[in-house]
Amino acid sequence: MKYMIMLYASQADHDALSGRPGSKRPWSQEEIAALHEHMGRIHTELAESGELVDAQPLAQPVHTRRLHSRDGVPVVTDGPYAETQEVLAGYTIVDCSGMDRATEIGFAFAAAPGPDGVADDAFLDIRPLGDGQAEL
């Protein structure tokens, strides 16, 4: 079964990771290196076990564009969005034995190192990928 593990962050998280001052303390180069090493190790292990399907980080929320329509008229809103703090920051798609294994993998991502307190604000979602229209 395939699952998408969706990791979330806010624009403030992206700013801190990029070293820009803001509402959160900027990450040090050592903290950034530890995060990349941690994520790289998990993805390498998943690739070696044959469970990794795809994984990608997403650009900062400020580069996002939301599309919808109002009264039949297309509306475009550039990000980030005031009505939501957390946005999708990246994803990993795994093909594994079931939700329990996908949850185990998710907890490995959730254990990523970072500045004190960063894990308290972090969260991720795990959703099975539909295998066709019947599963929608």
The span from the CA of 108 to the CA of 102, in Å, is 10
Domain ranges of the chain: 2-130
Q: By CB neighbour count within 10 A (0-12 exposed, 13-18 middle, 19+ buried), where does 61 fall?
A: buried
Q: For the chain, which residues score pLDDT lower than 70?
A: 80-84, 134-136
- What fold is seen in the domain 2-130? Alpha-Beta Plaits (3.30.70)
- Residue 23: its pLDDT value, please? 75
Please state the pTM of the whole predicted model: 0.84
